[in-house]
A and B are shown apart, each in its own frame.
Chain A
Amino acid sequence: MNKIAKGLLTVTLGTSLLLAGCGGGDGDGGNADGQVSLELFSNKSESIDTYKGLIEKFEEENPNIDIKLEAPPEAETVLKTRLTKDDLPDIMSIGGNATYGELARAGVFHDFSDSELVGKVQPSYVEMLGKLVGPDEEGTYGLPYATNANTVIYNKEKVEELGIEIPTNWDEFTQALETAKEAGETPIYFTLQEAWTAMSVWNGVAGNLVADDFAERKNAGEATFAEEYDEVADKMLELLDYGHKDNFGIGYGDGNNAFASGEGVFYIQGNWAIPEILKTNPDIELGTFALPSHDNAEENNLVSGVDVALAVSETTEHKEEALKFIEFMLSEETAQTYIDEQKAFSAVENVFQEDPVFEGIREHFEEGTLTSFVDHYYPAGMGTENLVQDFLIKKDKDAALETLDSEWDKVNDR
């Protein structure tokens, strides 16, 4: 090998062979002239403007408290890194998912159990957060604030044209799909090129069919997918029959565009897809309802999760001020502003989303007929979404449920 060649080889190979970890930001609550500075950490880039407005209002009411908003990309990774450095933000506004559970178990959050603030939020969501933490830790380590909903979004114009009544049980739903199919429409617009969108369907179907304590019993070795998800798998495949011709070729973004321009009657997605659809076609009239996967209309609840939970660091020097901010956030007025701007739902009692798009599911919030996202309790490392996508492609129910079982056990054994 000649010299030039060797030099080039060294340079090109020198660019990292091994993966290296990444670091996060820092910040410190300072104290000058009685001025208290707090850091508010948020995991949602979508809510930055809303938070800025709210913070301004809070600072006007409390001139001695200064709140700095931090909403970095890859927020969960950043938060975990800061945990290792014992440098948690004073106030955290984070998603109600497995990461929340891990942090709460690490004992770094303030316990709200004795606070009257707990009474201001809906107990079903408090319970949901509690379940993420697990049975080993007593206490309320976070307050649910904003919530989301896994829904069936429908094109109002088409549904009226086809004379479809909003279905309340599985039979009615499949009949509605059949009507749409016979009329030559695409009944459900799937976007399964992106695996995570399969989970909207999975959560919607399983939410009403699988017992709430499945994950707990599965971890204890007392339950299996093969036994308890049989009906879920069957119904998933049934829904797939009502898709379009390229179910696995269209992704989320393209699906939003297609649905906005009138392709498809039903679209199984969370409330977060609605602003996206309206962006493409502001004139489209949309409606929502809870996916009625159960044969009995009364058993059909709305799948809803905690989109934003508020937590306070256990070790912050300014706990009193931090709690003051939480109290401000939980006031009905602030909560209403938040959900109006974010098109979300509120966990605060008596605060409801009034947007007509959500008319079909409002009842569920008012009556508390809610159930949780089943996959929030699956181990994060098992890659459920790709397994479900794979199941829908191969349509081999038994093999797929077996894989889910074995992947779960494998991840837990590590």
Chain B
Amino acid sequence: MGQIAQYAINGLMSGAIYALIAVGIVSVYKATKVVNFAHGYLIMFGAYFYYTFAVIFPGMDWAPAWLASWQPGWMTEMREGLTMFSPMGAVLDWAANLPRIVFGLAGALVCNAILGRIIERVLMRPLMGQSVFAMIMVTVGLISILSGGAQLIWTADADFVPTIAPNTPLRFEMFGTMIFLFGADLVNMVIALLMFGGIVLWVRYTKGGIAIRATAEDQSTAYSMGISVPKVFSRAWVLASTTGAIAGAILATRNGISPSLGLFGFSVLAIVLMGGLDSYVGVFIAAMSVGVLEAMTQWKMGGDWAEIVPYVTVLVVLIWRPHGLFGQKEVERI
């Protein structure tokens, strides 16, 4: 039982990241009916922005020393004699990086929001009123632009970024088994869940959120009710970009920085389809299920199966419910 708990928690941690990636795809779809195939590359840009502000800028000559590594006297004294992965050692290592982590996250959020805004304004808005298919094809083209652009700006060099949270190992007993967790992964999961919950609440209870839901129901009616649909489009893209920035930063801390980060978006597309393209709750359940299923399959059947089993499940769900777990069934009126 303890083993099951261990792998289930591992799966939930992966699932939370999937959910954070998926929330951007759902937001854009809800507002614009466009499936954003380039979302993974938007996330990759978020990761590279985090890298720029947390690693490149602090390492430059003009940057103050405390930005690269904050080492007040008391911290240096406390650090002495502590081993690298001791709980206190890990916290102090993280604290030394805190200024650049905050700088990195702030930079990534702002820059990715601007990028999302530019994409919406320059590429998507001129296509408003045209076929949704044309807009979807633009997102496919955007993949090449973003992946090529990232390599031009940052080259294809692989690098590593500071973890967002202290990488303290956590151990506790559950059902008679010692459970082990990575502190940074646990905090990443909490961040992802808080952001996901915040967005769901925002969409449900705020004016801006209600405008997105109204636009999702019917653009023409939303227009006639005084909702600025272009503004809703813009808001959805900025929301997707900012959540993508955090997801990108988290992915970069787990996997390092490289152009392959853009590929994550594709695996999450299947999860979004399983949950229902326009359902936050459905996508959350799908993301958590796929995360847990992957971890369990990896545990019992190995990595080759772990790549297949969750996606077979997605297929089965789609055969059973073509609009996903909680997706809205569309009725075409002729």
A and B are partners in one complex rather than unrelated chains: no
Interface set of A (CB-CB < 8 Å, partner B): none
Interface set of B (CB-CB < 8 Å, partner A): none
